[in-house]
Amino acid sequence: METAASDRLETTTSIAITMLGPLTLLRGGVAADLPASRKTRALLAYLALSPRPVSRSHLCELLWEVPNDPRGELRWCLSKLRGLLDEPGHVRVRTAEDRVWLDMAGCSLDVAALGALSETTAQRPAQEVIELWAGEFLDGLALDRSPGFQAWLTGQRRHWRRAHISLLERAIAEPSRPASHRLALIERWVALSPFDERAHVLLLAHLRQSGTPDAAEAHLRTTVNVLEAEGLDTSRLRTAWRDMQGTVVASIADADPSPKETLTIEQIGRRHRASLAIMPFVQRTHHGPPGGGLADGLTQDIITRLARLRSLFVIARGSVYALAESGLGPIEAAQKLNVDYVTSGAIEVRSDSLSLTIELIEVRSGRIVWSERFERVARDALAVLDEVGNQIVASIASEIETVERNLAILKPPSSLNAWEAYHRGLWHMYRFTKTENETARHFFQQSVGLDPTFARAYAGLSFTHWQSGFQHWGDRAEDRDQAYAAAGEAMIADDHDPAAHWAMGRALWMRGQEDQSLVELEQAIDLSPNFALGHYALSFVLSQSGDPQAAISAADHSRQLSPFDPLLFGMLGARAMAHVRLGQFEEAAQWALKAAARPNAHPTIMAIAAHCLALAGRLPEARVIMAGIHATLPSYSIADFLDTFRFSADAEAEFRRAARLISG
């Protein structure tokens, strides 16, 4: 360790710090004992790379999850650093008022050496270039429950890895470089960036030119399998190999490396899911140390949340970062990945504010489907990004679903694949009439017939049976059983799809199994916290016989996640019923009127509004709405209303009182 570290740095300086690989501090080439505290080591690295003094409050937020005395712990860590860094006549750990910084004069940093070398044009020995990278930045250092530091660490790792790859590229391109040295540099590049097509092309060319075509073919075969498992397009790599050969090599360039019977789950999913790439967000910071920690953290968070929805094929993080590092723009990267949609954005961080611009593009047409700019006060950047992330995930999922529904409508029914038939079914389902519901059921049945593994289509089929029973459009007992059976098929197809548990939760509610219903709906939310329909269904059940305050909270969260949802009337209606159970009749009337004003609100929603208005003492309005219901359903009565829901005894008594007021 001591020899390797000292070889990478100038040893004439009094102190040398290595951060590529495990954190090490050298005095005269001899490794010093670092404090056992991970937070002290993290503090050392952060301050050493900070270009300006850092406030104590920022350091406390960065490294501690609000312990009893974060400033006291910071003082303790700084005392450890003083014992490590301060020298007679030279105080390196400096403080002034609320600011902290390190005096790095006379110190060497391996990352600084890497940065300087990457900016020079002088040729360096291959071994020197390779040895600059002793490992991942701060390898082995991680802090639990310190998301701010982890975001910074992620950004730094990306930055220094990219800097080293840039240095490798330049060193490989030097014409006087011996072939054996060039091979070592190319292999290091491949190891550091396994999804970078350029590195693989160089390696194939070198192996072929060196007289080892068998090794080149073996590498190509392995690489194609790895890249395609990640959803990457390998056509350019295959073409490059054909060009090197001068002829088509059928066994490699033209063979399908993934036989139909061994397709991965992800590849199967692409048959019936729209595909999406979230390109790494760009971060522009006006203060603090360099690095894109917040942007990287948000990118990873959105990728993870969208993947958990299970409704989209989301390209893995490694693939999009590799393409971003190769310099491709969002559209070019999306075309290379062969995806339907691509998202890109930029974060700008100032001392007191944070802004985020984002856009979603349909790759086929190049059309911007959705764009937004978020402006927030940056009191807590991580909390702000979590809130914004919720809106981004919900908006992306909703906008893509809308586009896919509209595309499906334009195609002849007989030409639809499973994904298109599913979205055609959604288009009809959201009209909330008996005829449209039956049409939707037909398309969902077509979808599962085309792909029996498509959980979402089974969930949609379950909903049409549930809706028929809820609206009394057919035999309620039969609809109840069919809704339950289809939900069961959805869970068999994909037990990790939140929509499957959502469908099962609603079906169990209709069977009178409220407790089991809540278990399934909570599971849907656990699987995907951004699944708006899961939160709505939870509020629907709780508003009738569970905790009304929890119902209000769930209804509000579902609306925040999906403010333009086709089921928005239900979210508003659930909140209205919860207010009735709390005795807050005027609030109930206000929310019920909002529900009734939605263009697709059905008679049951109108009945909620009429009864809530009556309880609030607004009888003329209540009677007008009830007259509208009777115009289409002449025999509609309080018995029909109560039979639709599963109210607790106190709630049922209030709604019976409302009916008497209306008829009185």
What is the C-alpha separation between 69 and 164, in angstroms, rounded? Answer: 40
With vertex at residue 68, the alpha carbon angle to CA 63 and CA 69, rounded to the nearest 5 degrees, is 65
Asked whether the predicted pLDDT for residue 283 surpasses 90, the reply is no
Count the Cβ atoms, other than its own, within 10 Å of residue 525: 22
- Cα–chain-centroid distance for residue 153? 19
- Cα–chain-centroid distance for residue 337? 18
CATH number of the domain at 530-664, out of 3.40.50.300, 1.20.120.1770, 1.25.40.10, 1.20.140.10?
Answer: 1.25.40.10
Structure tokens at 509: 């509610």
Better-predicted residue by pLDDT, 258 or 179: 179
Asked whether the predicted pLDDT for residue 255 surpasses 50, the reply is no
Structure tokens at 617: 């003492």
- Say whether 320 sits in a helix, a strand or coil: helix
pLDDT reported for residue 662: 95
pLDDT reported for residue 119: 64
Mean predicted confidence (pLDDT) in 532-542: 96
Which superfamily does 274-403 belong to?
ABC-type transport auxiliary lipoprotein component (3.40.50.10610)
pLDDT reported for residue 541: 97
Q: What is the pLDDT of residues 473-513, one digit of tens each?
A: 999 999 999 999 999 999 998 888 999 999 999 999 999 99
The model's confidence at residue 68, banded by pLDDT at 50, 70 and 90, is low
In the beta sheet, which residues pair with residue 354? 349, 376
pLDDT reported for residue 9: 46
Better-predicted residue by pLDDT, 582 or 388: 582
Is the distance from CB of 220 to CB of 199 less than 8 angstroms?
A: no
Asked whether the predicted pLDDT for residue 162 surpasses 90, the reply is no
2-151 CATH: 1.10.10.10
With vertex at residue 263, the alpha carbon angle to CA 257 and CA 269, rounded to the nearest 5 degrees, is 130
Structure tokens at 394: 């919900």
What is the C-alpha separation between 320 and 306, in angstroms, rounded? Answer: 15
For residue 15, give the nearest of 89, 7, 6 by alpha carbon: 6
- Collect contacts of 267-272 with beta carbons under 8 A, ≥24 apart: 267/228, 267/229, 267/231, 268/453, 269/313, 270/231, 270/313, 271/417, 271/418, 271/419, 271/451, 272/417, 272/418, 272/419, 272/422, 272/447, 272/451, 272/454
- Residue ranges of E strands in 7-125: 15-18, 24-27, 30-31, 54-55, 93-96, 99-102, 107-109
Q: What value does the mean pLDDT of the chain take?
A: 84
- The distance in angstroms from the start CA to the end CA of the chain is 90
Name the residue type at position 337.
Answer: L
Mean predicted confidence (pLDDT) in 158-185: 81
What is the C-alpha separation between 199 and 216, in angstroms, rounded? Answer: 13
* Residue partners of 208: CB distance under 8 A and separation at least 6: 216, 244, 245
Looking at the chain, the domain(s) classified CATH 3.40.50.10610 span: 274-403
DSSP classification of residue 403: H
For residue 92, give the nearest of 80, 641, 264 by alpha carbon: 80
Mean predicted confidence (pLDDT) in 563-584: 94
pLDDT reported for residue 257: 33
Q: Mark 26-36 as b/e (b = at least 16 C-beta within 10 Å).
A: beebebeeebe
Lowest mean pLDDT among 82-96, 107-121, 296-310: 107-121
Structure tokens at 151: 């975001």
Which residue is listed with tokens 């968070």? 301
pLDDT reported for residue 133: 82
What is the C-alpha separation between 345 and 65, in angstroms, rounded? Answer: 29
Looking at the chain, the domain(s) classified CATH 1.25.40.10 span: 411-518, 530-664
* Residue partners of 537: CB distance under 8 A and separation at least 6: 502, 505, 506, 521, 524
Looking at the chain, the domain(s) classified CATH 1.10.10.10 span: 2-151
The model's confidence at residue 205, banded by pLDDT at 50, 70 and 90, is confident
Structure tokens at 51: 């270009």
pLDDT reported for residue 224: 84
- Cα–chain-centroid distance for residue 434? 36
Which residue is listed with tokens 């079914």? 425
| CATH class belonging to 411-518 | mainly alpha
Q: What is the pLDDT of residues 7-24, one digit of tens each?
A: 444 444 579 999 999 999
What is the C-alpha separation between 426 and 405, in angstroms, rounded? Answer: 7
Better-predicted residue by pLDDT, 166 or 574: 574
373 phi, psi to nearest 5 deg: -125, 125
Mean predicted confidence (pLDDT) in 399-410: 87
Mean predicted confidence (pLDDT) in 223-250: 69
The model's confidence at residue 380, banded by pLDDT at 50, 70 and 90, is low
What is the C-alpha separation between 650 and 455, in angstroms, rounded? Answer: 38
362 phi, psi to nearest 5 deg: -85, 120
Q: What is the pLDDT of residues 631-663, one digit of tens each?
A: 999 999 999 999 999 999 999 999 999 999 999
Q: What is the pLDDT of residues 440-471, one digit of tens each?
A: 999 999 999 988 888 999 999 999 999 999 99
Share of the chain above pLDDT 90, in %: 42
What is the C-alpha separation between 542 and 357, in angstroms, rounded? Answer: 37
What is the C-alpha separation between 91 and 537, in angstroms, rounded? Answer: 62
Lowest mean pLDDT among 416-420, 566-570, 580-584, 603-607: 416-420
What is the C-alpha separation between 573 and 597, in angstroms, rounded? Answer: 11
The model's confidence at residue 265, banded by pLDDT at 50, 70 and 90, is very low
pTM given for the model: 0.60
- Say whether 588 sits in a helix, a strand or coil: helix
Share of the chain above pLDDT 70, in %: 89
Mean predicted confidence (pLDDT) in 134-158: 81
The model's confidence at residue 152, banded by pLDDT at 50, 70 and 90, is confident
